């Protein structure tokens, strides 16, 4: 009897040891495979034209799948009934999913943003009241770097549920500059000066699509619209350079840029009468009718 028991125990130990060895070998092979794939994620994404977010998500999902597969294989090898365990895992997953609806919503939004290729890293976007360059795209959040060097983290669901303006999608951008000239100046001459300046500027991309003309009549002068296409990089610097060139060209041609001013007539006479102590009627030169 004792011999039988020792034989049975030895067989059971051998079976468990064999099962554990299989599980360890399977886990090591799975870990090595995942490490190999993770190191080549960026290269594979570029070669297959896949967004990095999708590749990272696929690796994460594969890790979870392999972990569950190895765990279930280990329990099955040890003689544990996995049907009940799978049902419990499913119920726990449902409860966790209900508790983490917001996180799952961000995850789904991140996947949709990547699949639709709405933006990518280094793009300058504006969404949800924030504008900046995309520095990282995560499974749940997206990080932007603002123009004044601040880091802003925005949930993916907030991005996906709002309008997104991608300023980096196209290589050129249109700028509209508004310049005023005095009413006494010649409009045709001013427009010709602006047109010549834009045609000679290296910052303007398409010289055939330059628009210069009268936009409106202002309180102090004639408002001219200057519209042209420039490169998307350093857009604000290009605007400032063109405005400085316009001011210089107007100065050379004697064209006046108007500014608010008030013309006061009769100021000298009023000051002289006030110094002599004259009455209001004497200063106005009118007959004042008062009560008798």
CATH number at residue 141: 2.30.30.60
- pLDDT at residue 89, as a whole number: 60
| Beta-bridge partner residues of 85 | none
Q: What is the value of pTM for the model shown? A: 0.57
Would the pLDDT of 292 be above 50?
no
| Last residue within a domain, chosen from 71, 99, 127 | 99
Number of domains in the chain: 3
48 vs 43: CA distance, rounded Å:
9
Would the pLDDT of 265 be above 50?
yes
pLDDT band at 242 (very low <50, low <70, confident <90, very high): very high
CATH code for the domain of 182: 3.30.70.100
- pLDDT at residue 286, as a whole number: 47
| Three-class DSSP category at 219 | coil
222 vs 191: CA distance, rounded Å:
11
Does residue 106 fall inside a structural domain? no
Does residue 107 fall inside a structural domain? no
pLDDT band at 198 (very low <50, low <70, confident <90, very high): very high
Does residue 109 fall inside a structural domain? no
- pLDDT at residue 235, as a whole number: 86
| Beta-bridge partner residues of 228 | 175
Which is more confident, 79 or 287? Answer: 79
Which is more confident, 286 or 115? Answer: 115
Q: Sign of torsion, CA 241 243 248 249?
A: positive
Q: In what order do the strands lie in the sheet with 222-231?
A: 172-181, 222-231, 211-217
Would the pLDDT of 254 be above 50?
yes
Phi and psi dihedrals of 265, rounded to 5?
A: -100, 145
Full domain range(s) for residue 251: 171-292
Q: Based on the fold, state whether residues 175 and 292 are members of the same structural domain.
A: yes
Q: Are 123 and 134 spatial neighbours (Cβ–Cβ below 8 Å)?
A: yes
Does residue 146 fall inside a structural domain? yes
Q: Based on the fold, state whether residues 26 and 130 are members of the same structural domain.
A: no
208 vs 280: CA distance, rounded Å:
64
- pLDDT at residue 214, as a whole number: 94
| Average of per-residue pLDDT values in the chain | 76
Would the pLDDT of 57 be above 80?
no
Q: Based on the fold, state whether residues 177 and 283 are members of the same structural domain.
A: yes
Per-residue model confidence as pLDDT tens digits over 95-138: 555 545 567 778 778 778 877 778 888 889 998 888 999 988 77
Q: Are 151 and 94 spatial neighbours (Cβ–Cβ below 8 Å)?
A: no
Does residue 12 fall inside a structural domain? yes
């Amino acid at each position: 009897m004792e011999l039988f028991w020792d034989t049975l125990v030895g067989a059971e130990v051998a079976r468990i040891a064999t099962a554990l060895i299989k599980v360890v070998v399977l886990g090591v092979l799975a870990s090595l495979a995942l490490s190999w794939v993770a190191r080549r994620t960026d290269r594979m994404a570029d070669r297959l034209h896949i967004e990095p977010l999708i590749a990272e998500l696929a690796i994460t999902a594969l890790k979870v799948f392999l972990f569950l597969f190895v765990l279930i294989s280990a329990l099955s090898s040890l003689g544990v009934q996995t049907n009940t365990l799978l049902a419990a895992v499913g119920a726990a997953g449902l409860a966790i999913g209900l508790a983490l609806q917001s996180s799952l919503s961000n995850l789904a939004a991140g996947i949709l943003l990547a699949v639709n290729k709405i933006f990518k890293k280094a793009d300058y976007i504006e969404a949800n009241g924030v504008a900046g360059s995309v520095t990282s795209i995560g499974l749940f959040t997206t990080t932007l770097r603002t123009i004044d060097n601040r880091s802003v983290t925005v949930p993916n669901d907030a991005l996906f549920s709002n309008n997104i303006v991608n300023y980096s999608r196209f290589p050129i951008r249109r700028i509209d500059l508004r310049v005023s000239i005095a009413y006494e100046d010649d409009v045709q001459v001013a427009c010709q000066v602006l047109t010549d300046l834009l045609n000679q500027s290296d910052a303007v991309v398409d010289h055939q699509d330059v628009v210069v003309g009268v936009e409106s009549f202002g309180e102090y002068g004639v408002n001219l619209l200057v519209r042209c296409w420039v490169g998307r990089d350093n857009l604000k610097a290009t605007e400032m350079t063109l405005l400085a060139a316009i001011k210089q060209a107007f100065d050379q041609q004697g064209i006046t840029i108007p500014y608010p001013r008030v013309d006061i007539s009769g100021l000298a006479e009023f000051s002289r009468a006030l110094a002599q102590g004259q009455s209001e009627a004497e200063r106005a030169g009118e007959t004042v009718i008062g009560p008798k």
